[in-house]
Chain A
Amino acid sequence: MLPLLLKNVFRTLFANFRGKLVKKKRALLTLLGLAFFPFLIMSQTVDLFSVWMHIPTMGATFVVRFVATSFFAVLVLLCLTSLPSVMHHFFLAPDLSLLRALPINKRTIFLAKFVQVTLGTVGMYVAVGLPLLVSMCLALGAAPSIFAIMLIASLLFIFIPTGLSAIVAFALARLFSVVKMRRLATLILGLFIVVTWAGLQLVRLSRLNPASPDFQPQAVRDFAAWSAPGPLPSDWLVNSLYAATLAQWQTVGLNLAALLLSAAALACLAIVWRVRLDHKDIRMDAGRISKTARDIGTRSFLRPALAMLRKDMQVTRRDSRLLHSSLLLGAMLLVSPFVTSADVGNPGTVGLFMSYMPLTILTLIASSTLARQGLPLERLSLQYVLQAPVSLTSVLMTKIVRALLLIAPFTIVACLITAYKTGTAVPGAALAIAEHLSFVLCGAVTGSVVAVFTTNYAWSDPRYMTNALGAYSSTFIVLAVGAIGMSIIMAGELLGQQMVAFLLFFIYVFLVFWIGLRVSLARFRKLQWT
């Protein structure tokens, strides 16, 4: 039975590569995006590691230590990735009730689910974990045969985070509603990613690189003094590879055995526990909303639009995927002023302009991304809006305003932080805020144009609605639209005609808004509800 179940698991995993061309393209583009990470990580680490290898006080042990420490973070990341997935696949997946009705042993079902959750983390592992190991092996000058050991060790290792998350999830499942926990777990994963990303930006690797001008010997000493907490699966993995390069086969065996035993023990424990949980009640409700919906409070023509806006915000707040992405982008906006080096903000106004530029780009991308979700979040319920006496213009406007409301507060705060860091005077800061809010508008309009055109209109599942082509093209289009705006402001700075430039800029923003709305309306009108 297990092979049959696993075949099905693989089939769903690769379903995106079969069938419709649009779906295939989307899957391929996503894959391409993921493939970018290994290159990024390897380009950062391969040279760094070989420099360390040549410094007597650092050497191989320092490299291994560094990789082991980083791998602890990878382990945490994998645990956090599989936690929501465990809650989904072991409790909430719609196929569970079907599988249980079949004459299959429950243990077999949950073993298949265990494998399924693990397969879901493989992408993350290949993107961020594997490149570190490859860099390490290259730096240590290992024989090519080490890659076989790397494969085996990795294969054992990736089951461990699934097992750990499963045990945490099952312990919590007796106490809290699984649906609510899945929501929380997704949020925690998102925050972890943002914090790690911000941390990596702040703690530059170049500080540990003796070949770089930023090198800080103190940072190396601090790092060396910091000891990882005890023997962890990530250490076993790294040590087995290190021992293999030294041909200490006994150590290799011991470490691999530790990986194997702990993976097997965790998997068995998880499966047995999950089977036992079947006889306990597990809460799966999404919870009650205690308040009665209040009246919108206006009788004007704005009332339907406000009602739609309120509904969109409620949906955004309660849908973990939507909440997640807006918080993620918001956090990135807030972090961005700290990350970009403020040194370019020399007294000349052009330099000042440059120090806002990363924020501007991030603002454009964030608002277009959020605007792109506006239509898909309706799912099949869009029929209630389409059959109601509301104009399509107001529907589209609501989507744009939603993106504005979600992004504008973060943008304003990020502008204030940048202004503080660069010592911008009050009028300059106010202008920067006005400009960035205009960029938010540009981004939101562009995003909703792209959404209307690239949405697949597979209403039942919003994940299939926003295709990767749309995501990539919207990034390019929004940056092009933003670049024109930025060059108008920049030209004003260079020519010393700021006021004229700002006027032209605001006219440009208005044009983008007006044309974008027209174009998307024309497409939206042709929409068929099939």
Chain B
Amino acid sequence: MIKISGLTKSFDNVVAVDHLDLEVGDELFIFLGPNGAGKTTTLKMMTGLLTPDEGTVQLNGISMRDEPLAAKRQFGYAPEQPNLYEKLTPNEFIQFILDIYGAPDQGKARARQLFDIFELSERQHDLIEDLSGGMKKKVSLIAALVHQPKILFLDEPTAALDPKAARHLKDILRGLVRKGVTVFMTTHILEVAETMCDRIAIINKGKLCAIGALDRLRVQYGSGLSLEDLFLKLTGEIYSSKIDEFLQDA
């Protein structure tokens, strides 16, 4: 259960998130929006990394402002940029996460399974600085999954993953939702959104434009629209004339 109301954050001269209200149950919820829409900023506020200017965040009924530690125990978060400790090995990093979350002994077994699934077992004793970009992303996903959180915040989890790993991740996420975990993720890959989400929200310039199950949105904004058409309709025009101009010069 995630509940945010009136969430607002502005940076020097931009309002990144503007009075956002959302309620997400035990479902796979996808957060869409153009670059700079405020998705990452929203996630950072929900995970306590940024203090909102206004508004509240409640995770499983626990307020992030009043009881930050209890609220932080509810979720796992894989950020957009992995930014791991370069001088640790994946194995050491995951052990660090398990120790910090006080995860029980089966954490080790889960870690081993996840390393296997994401084909990292061979590389788990190399320093993270030697891993490829996609491998680092996988390590940060494992860190979010390994301590069995009830809520998962994933910022563009499938970006940089190879097709097989992306498929594995999607299967894992669907399975977890069936077991009562709340998954809140952003993505730019509409195919991912179309095939796996329960509900989507589209934000633009920090404001919510649409929210609901895909079928319901189609009914609302015109049947027969693909998600891509819907997204573009809600978030702005296509610059076809400018593209023609560019191609002419080329």
Given known contacts A292-B91, A381-B83, is B69 in contact with A389 (CB within 8 Å)? Answer: yes
Docked CA distance A307–B98 (Å): 9
Number of residues of chain A lying within 8 A (CB) of chain B:
39
Interface residues of A in 362-396 (CB under 8 A from B): 379-381, 383-391
Residue pair B81, A380 in contact (C-beta under 8 Å): yes
Docked CA distance A290–B124 (Å): 10
Residue pair A314, B125 in contact (C-beta under 8 Å): no
Contact of A293 among B79, B83, B92, B129 (CB under 8 A): B92
**Is A529 interfacial (CB-CB < 8 Å)?**
yes
Q: Closest CB of chain A to B162's CB: distance in Å?
A: 22
Across the interface, name the chain A residue whose C-beta is closest to B73. A389
Contact of B127 among A287, A304, A311, A391 (CB under 8 A): A287
**Is B170 interfacial (CB-CB < 8 Å)?**
no
**Is B168 interfacial (CB-CB < 8 Å)?**
no
List chain A residues, Cβ under 8 A from B51. Answer: 528
Listed residue (A294, A380, A381) with the most chain B CB atoms within 10 angstroms of its CB = A381
**Is B84 interfacial (CB-CB < 8 Å)?**
yes
Docked CA distance A380–B70 (Å): 24
**Is A318 interfacial (CB-CB < 8 Å)?**
yes
Contact of B91 among A286, A293, A306, A391 (CB under 8 A): A293
**Is A343 interfacial (CB-CB < 8 Å)?**
no
Docked CA distance A381–B92 (Å): 14
Stretch at the interface among B99-107, B178-186, B188-196, B219-227: B99-107
**Is B228 interfacial (CB-CB < 8 Å)?**
no
Docked CA distance A2–B187 (Å): 43
Docked CA distance A308–B99 (Å): 9
Residue pair A314, B77 in contact (C-beta under 8 Å): no
Interface residues of A in 282-301 (CB under 8 A from B): 285-296, 299
Docked CA distance A281–B73 (Å): 47
Contact of A304 among B50, B99, B108, B129 (CB under 8 A): B99
- Return the CB mask of B34-67 against A: 1 if under 8 Å, else 0: 0000000000100111110000000000000000
**Is B116 interfacial (CB-CB < 8 Å)?**
no
**Is A461 interfacial (CB-CB < 8 Å)?**
no
**Is A315 interfacial (CB-CB < 8 Å)?**
yes
Given known contacts A287-B127, A288-B126, A289-B125, is B85 in contact with A311 (CB within 8 Å)? Answer: yes
Residue pair B99, A306 in contact (C-beta under 8 Å): yes
**Is A303 interfacial (CB-CB < 8 Å)?**
yes
List chain B residues, Cβ under 8 A from A308. Answer: 96, 100
Given known contacts A292-B91, A303-B102, A387-B72, is B11 in contact with A530 (CB within 8 Å)? Answer: yes
Q: Closest CB of chain B to A402's CB: distance in Å?
A: 14
**Is B216 interfacial (CB-CB < 8 Å)?**
no
Residue pair B47, A289 in contact (C-beta under 8 Å): no
Across the interface, name the chain A residue whose C-beta is closest to B79. A383
Residue pair B99, A529 in contact (C-beta under 8 Å): no
Residue pair A383, B85 in contact (C-beta under 8 Å): no
Docked CA distance A388–B130 (Å): 25
**Is B143 interfacial (CB-CB < 8 Å)?**
yes
Docked CA distance A379–B126 (Å): 20
List chain B residues, Cβ under 8 A from A214. Answer: none
Interface residues of A in 328-383 (CB under 8 A from B): 379-381, 383
Q: Closest CB of chain B to A449's CB: distance in Å?
A: 22
Residue pair B50, A528 in contact (C-beta under 8 Å): yes
Residue pair A307, B100 in contact (C-beta under 8 Å): yes
Q: Closest CB of chain A to B212's CB: distance in Å?
A: 29
Docked CA distance A379–B73 (Å): 23
Residue pair A286, B49 in contact (C-beta under 8 Å): no
Given known contacts A311-B88, A380-B81, is B99 in contact with A296 (CB within 8 Å)? Answer: yes
**Is B95 interfacial (CB-CB < 8 Å)?**
yes
Residue pair A386, B85 in contact (C-beta under 8 Å): no
Across the interface, name the chain B residue whose C-beta is closest to A525. B51
**Is B89 interfacial (CB-CB < 8 Å)?**
yes
Docked CA distance A289–B95 (Å): 14
Residue pair A529, B44 in contact (C-beta under 8 Å): yes
Residue pair A386, B49 in contact (C-beta under 8 Å): yes
List chain B residues, Cβ under 8 A from A380. Answer: 81, 83
- Return the CB mask of A270-290 against B: 1 if under 8 Å, else 0: 000000000000000111111
Residue pair B129, A286 in contact (C-beta under 8 Å): yes
Residue pair A379, B83 in contact (C-beta under 8 Å): yes
Docked CA distance A307–B127 (Å): 18
Given known contacts A306-B99, A383-B49, is B72 in contact with A389 (CB within 8 Å)? Answer: yes
**Is B97 interfacial (CB-CB < 8 Å)?**
yes
List chain A residues, Cβ under 8 A from B95. Answer: 293-295, 307
List chain B residues, Cβ under 8 A from A290. Answer: 125
Residue pair A384, B97 in contact (C-beta under 8 Å): yes
**Is B233 interfacial (CB-CB < 8 Å)?**
no
Interface residues of A in 504-530 (CB under 8 A from B): 528-530
Residue pair A289, B96 in contact (C-beta under 8 Å): no
Residue pair A318, B87 in contact (C-beta under 8 Å): yes
Contact of A387 among B47, B99, B129 (CB under 8 A): B47
List chain A residues, Cβ under 8 A from B126. Answer: 285-289
Given A287-B126, A315-B85, 4 additional A-B pairs, CB 8 A:
A293-B94, A389-B70, A390-B69, A390-B100
A–B complex contacts, Cβ < 8 Å, 14 sampled: A285-B130, A286-B127, A288-B126, A289-B92, A289-B125, A293-B89, A304-B102, A307-B99, A311-B85, A311-B88, A315-B88, A318-B87, A390-B69, A529-B49
- Chain A contact residues, CB within 8 Å of chain B: 285-296, 299, 303-304, 306-308, 310-311, 314-315, 318-319, 379-381, 383-391, 528-530
| 3 cross-chain pairs, A with B, having the tightest CB-CB distances, nearest first | A307-B99, A380-B83, A293-B95
